[in-house]
């Protein structure tokens, strides 16, 4: 039986076992953004999420084994001249252990996040993902996420940031 709940601080190591899978996937997919050996410098970042009022760590458990997790942040953006104020839950990290995928665990975690958001009066979830991760995109789309913005890039051969001309003002 899978139980979805807020994580306990002493479960950090179990969460990090799965986070390491995400880091490896990202380092393999985009080594220009993610250092393959950079795990040691990021593994403790999640500690702050356990104690912050504006974030939470959610876990899926099968008995005492953590099979998936999400790290979420509750975001409030003030009104600007261009946009009204708004709130949303940002899913900062999300993963189901590779041994437990395609068993509905990810859908259960997202359901828990949706219920938590609704209890807080928040009606929008957001997340970012890397384009190379087609499996994740298919999953997110299958449960109702829609693309509303894209980041685009262009690599220019022979130009590095060091020799690039200054930006136009």
Average pLDDT over residues 31-38: 77
Q: Pairing mode, if any, of strands 65-77 and 86-96?
A: antiparallel
Predicted local confidence at residue 162, as pLDDT: 57
Residue 113 pLDDT more than 90?
Answer: yes
Q: 91: which 2 tokens? A: 């899913």
Q: In sequence order, what E strands does 78-145 have?
A: 86-96, 125-127
For residues 144 and 106, the answer to whether their CB atoms sit within 8 Å is no
Task: Read off the pLDDT of residues 69-109 as tens digits, 9 standing for 90 and up.
Answer: 999 999 999 999 999 999 999 999 999 988 999 999 999 99
Task: Read off the pLDDT of residues 3-30 as tens digits, 9 standing for 90 and up.
Answer: 999 998 888 888 888 888 888 888 888 8
CA-CA distance, 72 to 83, in Å (whole number)? 23
In degrees rounded to 5, what are phi and psi of residue 148?
-120, -10
| Alpha helices by DSSP H, 11-167 | 12-29, 39-42, 47-51, 105-119, 134-142
Predicted local confidence at residue 87, as pLDDT: 95
* Closest to 15 measured CA to CA, from 64, 56, 67: 67
């Amino acid at each position: 039986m899978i139980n979805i709940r807020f994580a306990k601080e002493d479960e950090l190591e179990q969460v990090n076992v799965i986070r390491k899978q995400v880091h490896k996937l990202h380092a393999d997919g985009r080594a220009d953004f993610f250092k393959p050996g950079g795990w040691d410098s990021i593994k403790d970042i999640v500690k702050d999420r356990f104690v912050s009022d504006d974030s939470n760590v959610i876990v899926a458990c099968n008995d005492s084994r953590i099979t998936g997790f999400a790290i979420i942040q509750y975001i409030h953006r003030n009104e600007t001249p261009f946009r009204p104020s708004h709130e949303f839950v940002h899913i900062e990290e999300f993963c189901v252990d590779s041994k437990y995928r395609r068993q509905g665990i990810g859908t259960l975690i997202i359901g828990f996040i949706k219920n938590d958001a609704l209890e807080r009066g928040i009606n929008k979830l957001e997340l970012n993902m890397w384009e190379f991760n087609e499996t994740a995109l298919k999953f997110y789309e299958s449960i109702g996420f829609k693309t509303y913005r894209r980041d685009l890039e262009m690599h220019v051969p022979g130009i590095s940031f060091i020799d690039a001309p200054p930006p136009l003002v």
